[in-house]
Amino acid sequence: MLPGRSGHVGVTAKDNRLFVDAVLYRYRAGIAWRDLPERFGDFRVIHLRHSRWSRAGVWQRVFQALSEDTDNEYAMIDSTIVRAHQHSAGAKGGRRKPSDVVAQD
């Protein structure tokens, strides 16, 4: 699905991973291409590659493939990853003790 050089499977996969991480970082942070951290490499190369992939329809194919996943398990949120407020757990409930209940005749 992702373009790469034939015969360079390991290198291409690693390079694609770093490139996709850079693009995701850029959009998540809402920054300009030139503000990408140096660990991703030269921002001009990343921007050029992003533009090429856009023109070639690579991103469209990626999003199409992800949207066809009917399970969507990767997008589900459960309580194991959602942080609760510090006072949301362990507090005493509003239940009364039997001695607090007044009998009415």
pLDDT tens sequence across 9-61: 555 567 888 999 999 999 999 999 999 999 999 999 999 999 999 999 999 99
74 has a pLDDT exceeding 80: no
Q: Cβ distance 58 to 2 under 8 Å? A: yes
Which pLDDT value is given to residue 32? 96
Q: Which is more confidently placed, 25 or 72?
A: 25
Rounded CA separation 21/50 (Å): 12
pLDDT, greater one: 43 or 100:
43
In 3D space, the residue among 37, 46, 38, 43 whose CA is nearest the CA of residue 17 turns out to be 46
Q: What is the largest CA-CA distance in the chain?
A: 89
CA torsion sign for 72, 77, 80, 81 is: positive
